[in-house]
Structure formats: structure tokens, C-alpha cells
A and B are shown apart, each in its own frame.
Chain A
């Protein structure tokens, strides 16, 4: 890769969202903004190796894209009002105190609750992340044409239903930010524990993209505790990446991981975010508590399970869902043994959730109830779609001997 190529890649990562977002506001059309931004980057690929990288690459790209868009609108405007009709996106007036960053508007538009979740994910990766349609299609193992249609349909709905290009109403902000975080966390989780059985167990491209996007949202909403919490959660999870998959492709559980292989830099960054949230004195939301749990896991040579259980107690008060209770029981098993933990998960309505059966199997194995453990492992293996998890569970099942 030449210096110019490296610079192009860096500028694409750093400037794509800003170029699309600025154009979308100026032109009032997300579709044209996306196309012209892609066009400007293609021009940069042609020109920069010859002319050199401009002193302000971001401004150069925005100006280039803007000129292209104006040319195109002029070319296409048969009637005078055609130009004005292009103002499809509704620019909402800025509520007082809101951060005036076009990229934030772009994020809220792409993650609008009126769009289907898979459309929000695809649109966010395309418009904010700058991934190409083939890249997104590959990441989700979907046909390129299908992914293209998904994005096109989402853009058409934004236009037809007039989904606004702006920050939400003040009282809707917490719910809308939570919606954005759901999209980012789903992208991260798809990378972290790929649900597809014929791909890699970990999709580093997606986890990296999710972290990058969450960093951006954290820059845009620095005072939001949950955004900071999600970023910390992702960093502390990603820090363990190198230790998470064994040489034979098994997923390695936390307790068996080589802590020396963990990324100290990411852990330090995650811990700093968690500490800053604790210092704020504000009631933490679910991502902040999850981040705190992961901070405990990554603090010192051993996990302090009593702290983890205490944090899960706090999480149960925010979210008393069966999945949270299941995760709490996993910590209880470490603190009080599998017998106590088993009683906590009996009867949880998670019959179709593979982790429920994998957890039961693990408790039963530790209790020496081999036959029941093997049956539970079989159920978990049948339900999981992640290849690394399947391998791990199969090995564990074969270790569960005895009656």
C-alpha cells in the first residue's frame, strides 16, 4: 500500500460520515448525498496519486461532492421547482442545547424506529460507516442484490414517510439513543458471536466497525452515560479477543483464557470509561452495569465473583429478564457453587435459547450428573448456530462422563 493509498483509507474512515451527513443536510436527500460522497471518494482515488493529497482532505471531498451534486441537480431539473422538490429530507429545527453535528442527525435518521431493525443496521453501516453494499452483504452473508434492495427500500421509506433528518424531540432522546445503541450492539454481537454456521466464529470486521461507530456516537454525545457504557463494554469484550478462540477454533470460556494475551490498552481505556461513569454519581443504565461487570472480569489475575453477582443484582433491577437471571446464575455458580445456581435457573422460560442449555449442561457436569449433562449439551449444540461454540460444546459434552 502506497502512502497515498494509506491516506485514502484513513480519510475514508475519518471523513465518510461527515461528507454524507453534510451533503444530506445541504441537499435534503440521503440518496443523492450517498451517491455523491461515493463519487467524490472515487475522484480522490483518481486525483490524489497525481495531484497529491490536499491539505484539508475532508473539505476537499465535501466540496467535490457538493459540486457534483449541484451539477447533477441542474442537469436533472427540467422545471424550476424540481430543485426545490429535491428537498425530500425534512430538516428539523435544532432544539436548544442540542449538539449541532450533521453526523448525529445521520445516525438518528439511520436508526429511526420506523425502520425495520435489519434495515437500520444496513443503513447505519452504509451511511455512517461507509461500508460498501458488497461489504455489508458479505458481513451478514446475504446476497448483494438482497442487501442492496434492503438499503434502497429503507431510503425509499425515509423519503415517502418523511422520516426527519434531525435530532429527536427532547423527550424522545433517551429512547432514541437507546435505539441507536441497540443497533450498534447488534452489529458488535454479530461480529463477536457470528450467528452464521458457515463463517468464522468471530467477525473482526464487524466488531471493529461497531467500536468505531460507537466511538463516534460517544464523541457526539459525550455526556450520555449509556453511550460511554456501551463503548466500555465493547472495548473490554474486544480486549479478550486474542484469547477467545483456541488454535483449533474452539471458543475459550473466560476462566480458561490466557490473560497475558488480553489487550492491555483496550482494558485501560475501558476501565477509564467505567471509572468516569462511577465518578459521575448518576444511576447507571444496563450498558454501564454490563461494562462494570466486564471491568471486574478484566481487573487483576482473577475475577472477583462477589462483585460480579452484586452487579448482576443491580442489572436484574433494571432488566429482570430471564436472560439476565441466567447470566447472574453463571456468576452465582462461581461464588456459591453449581447446586445453588441450578436452583436459580430451573424453570426459566428459555427452552429455545442455546446458552440456557449450555449453562445447565455445565452445572450438571460440575455436579457429576453426566447423563443429564450430555443430554443438555446435545440440546445446546442443536440450538447454536455459531461454529466455534458448537465445537466447544461438543468437546465439553465428550468430557461429561459418568451416569
Chain B
């Protein structure tokens, strides 16, 4: 079994609506029932982010997201899947549920 990060992408500052939230709940319940659920969550807007660099003597804090980009991550799932075809299928269902594009990325194994 491998784990995959399914990131939810958006380029518009539009919050999820009730219909999307309901579809996400159904999808989450399905993941849990099928034993594929690891974790999931929604994120606040990127302008709430703080960049921290703790490599020096004192940590340095910077307001704002690390990279200004047109598209950003507003939520994610971590799922358990035997291989990419299963992860892609889950990603397709997740994308439909939250009504946004998603990106699938494997965790490093070993």
C-alpha cells in the first residue's frame, strides 16, 4: 500500500458551497468505509499564511504565502491506495465532489 496526497487546486477566491460540502462528506464517508482514508482537511486562504525560516539563530517570520501563484492549494486528502490507478480513480471522485481540479502526488515510500 502506498499513500497519495490529493491536493485541491483553485484559481478563484470562491468558498465551497453547501452542495459541494455535502458531496465531500459523502466522499469522505466512502473513503473511511473502504479503508482508504488517512486524513483530509480544508485550508484557509493563502493570505493567512506565514512563512517561517528557522534555519538561523532566530526564526524569521514573513507574512504571506511562500510563492505567489495564480493557482493554490485550498484543501487536501491523504489516501491509501495499492497503486496509481486506484489513487487516480479516488482523485477523480474527489475532484467531482469538491468541484475543483486536484493534483495527485505519491508520498516517498520506504
A129-161 contacts to B, CB under 8 A, are 160-161
Scoring B82, B84, B104, B108 by chain A CB atoms within 10 A of each residue's CB, the highest score goes to B84
- A59–B106 Cα gap in the complex (Å)? 37
Q: A158's closest neighbor in chain B, by CB? A: B84
- The binding surface of chain B is classed by DSSP as mixed
A114 touches B2 (CB 8 A): no
Inter-chain CA distance A199–B82, complex, in Å, is 45
CA distance A164 to B82 in the complex (A): 9
Q: Count chain B residues whose beta carbon lies closer than 8 angstroms to a beta carbon of A.
A: 14
Closest to A168 in B: B85
| Complex-state Cα separation, A160 to B84, whole angstroms | 10
Q: Say yes or no: is B23 at the interface (Cβ < 8 Å to chain A).
A: no
Q: Which residues of chain B are within 8 angstroms of A160 by Cβ–Cβ distance?
A: 106, 108
Q: How far, in whole Å, are A40 and B108 apart by their CA atoms in the complex?
A: 32
Q: Is A353 an interface position by the 8 A CB rule?
A: no
Selected contact of A92 from candidates B85, B104, B110, CB within 8 Å: B85
**How many residue pairs bridge A and B at CB < 8 Å?**
33
- B residues touching A (Cβ–Cβ < 8 Å)? 2, 82-85, 87-89, 104-106, 108-110
- Find chain B residues with CB under 8 A from A92 CB: 82-83, 85
Q: Contact between B89 and A114 (Cβ–Cβ < 8 Å)?
A: no
Cα of A160 to Cα of B3 in the assembled complex, Å:
11
The contact size tier of chain A is 10 to 19
B88 engages A90 (CB within 8 Å): no
The answer to the question of A162 belonging to the interface, with a C-beta cut-off of 8 Å to chain B, is yes
A172 on interface, CB distance cutoff 8 Å: yes
CB distance A162 to B89 under 8 Å?
A: no
> Is B85 in contact with A161, judged by CB distance below 8 angstroms?
no
**A169 and B89 contact, Cβ closer than 8 Å, known pairs A85-B110, A160-B106, A162-B2:** yes
Q: How far apart sit A104 and B88, CA to CA, in the bound complex (Å)?
A: 21
Assuming the contacts A90-B82, A90-B83, asked whether A162 and B106 have C-beta atoms less than 8 A apart, the reply is yes
